Structure formats: C-alpha cells, structure tokens
A and B are shown apart, each in its own frame.
Chain A
Amino acid sequence: GAVVSQHPSWVICKSGTSVKIECRSLDFQATTMFWYRQFPKQSLMLMATSNEGSKATYEQGVEKDKFLINHASLTLSTLTVTSAHPEDSSFYICSATPGLALLWGNEQFFGPGTRLTVL
C-alpha cells in the first residue's frame, strides 16, 4: 500500500519557539493532505485540509496564523507550529489522498504521527 511518512517522529521544544513537521507521500502524488491533532486518550480532530498549490482550509477554532500549513508539492506538506506553548503539546498526524474527494477509505493514507512536547 501507499506510504506516508512524517518527520520528525517526536520533538521537544521550548515555549515560544516554532516547530516544523513534514508530511511526505512516498510513492504517490497527494492531491490533498490533511492535518489532525490528537490529545492523549482522545480522538483525532481535523485541523486543516490542504490541496496542492492552494491555501489550506482550516477547521473552526484552529488558528491559521499559529498553525501554518504549506502544501507546495504533490508529495510534501508542512505544518509549522509558531510560538509553541505547552498547550500545543499533542500528537500531530497527517494523511494524504491522491484524489480531491474521498472515494474510498483505503485511499486516505495516514502518517505515523509526530509527538510534540513543548516545555
């Protein structure tokens, strides 16, 4: 099956710094990529949807100036957490799909996640 990677797998940073997380589709072109956040013992919450070459669409309540998403190529999307604070500590997961619409669940491929800890 298709593979999505994330880098780094975990990161620890000081409060006030910015952190960039990469999401790559390794063997397919990802027209659409999604970014989720998952707090401990909770579900995945969609943060934003990004289509290659266009601005990301953020979910209600997600600060677009704090969580910068760039989907500059068909294989790479980045999430930058700016001025991170301890409450931003979470598990960040990306997913990618080759299509514009979700036709089948097995066409949305999830990355392994990135654990962010802000001290």
Chain B
Amino acid sequence: GESVGLHLPTLSVQEGDNSIINCAYSNSASDYFIWYKQESGKGPQFIIDIRSNMDKRQGQRVTVLLNKTVKHLSLQIAATQPGDSAVYFCAENAQGAQKLVFGQGTRLTINP
C-alpha cells in the first residue's frame, strides 16, 4: 500500500552543525506534508509544513524542501542544538483527506 518512509533510521551530528533528515513518499496524490518532532514519551510536535505547490519553505532554523519529481522531502535544521535531539517524522496528507500517514522516523542525536 501507499506509505511514507525515511532513508535513515538514525542520524548523529555535532552540536552546531546542520542536520538534514530525509523522507520518501510514494503516494502521488499527496499534496501536503508535515514534519513533526517527538521527544521521548511525548506526543508529536508540529515543526513545519509544505504544500505541493511549493518546493521550499523556511521557518526558524528549519527549512523543508520538497521534490515532487522524485517524491522526496527533507528537513534541514540549522546550527543543531542539544534540544533538537528527538525522533523526527514526516507525514503526508492527500487533498481533502482527514488523516495523516506517518513515515518511519529518524532519531537525531547531537554530539557535544
């Protein structure tokens, strides 16, 4: 069935470096994508989203890139901080649908 997946299950970066977390999706009908951050034992926290009519969107220290041609999106975190340690999920939504389909998640760890 349709699914959203991630290339890497874990990512380790040095504090202060930039982090790039990738996500592949397979549902060509998906037109809305969201990145969530989940800390241990907590619910997901919204980070940033992007619609399919855009290829880039920036927030505070975060940027999401969308490549519809290869069905790929990425989350870039600038100047990674210890507080960024968490599992990051991408999620997709098809137009008009209520539900989100979550990817497998990437655990981001920060090395001091």
Contacts and interface: CB of A to CB of B under 8 A. Distances in A.
Do A and B come together as binding partners? yes
Interface of A: 4, 32, 34, 42-46, 49, 91, 93, 95, 97, 100-102, 104-106, 108, 110-113, 115
Contacts of A106: 46, 49
B99 interface: yes
A93 B43 contact: yes
A106 B42 CA distance: 17
A44 B44 contact: yes
A5 to B, nearest CB: 10
Contacts of B96: 101
A100 B96 CA distance: 9
Interface residues of B, number: 23
A44 B89 contact: yes
Interface in B55-102: 89, 91, 93, 96-102
A111 B89 CA distance: 16
A104 B104 CA distance: 21
Interface of B: 32, 34, 36, 41-46, 49, 89, 91, 93, 96-105
A110 B49 CA distance: 15
Contacts of A105: 32, 34, 46, 49, 91
21 contacts: A4-B43, A32-B98, A34-B98, A34-B100, A43-B89, A43-B104, A44-B89, A46-B100, A49-B99, A95-B43, A101-B97, A102-B93, A102-B97, A104-B49, A105-B32, A106-B49, A108-B46, A110-B36, A112-B43, A113-B42, A115-B41
Nearest to A104: B49
A4 B32 CA distance: 23
A113 B103 contact: no
A108 B89 contact: no
Contacts of B49: 104-106
A68 to B, nearest CB: 19
Contacts of A93: 43-44
A102 B43 contact: no
A43 to B, nearest CB: 5
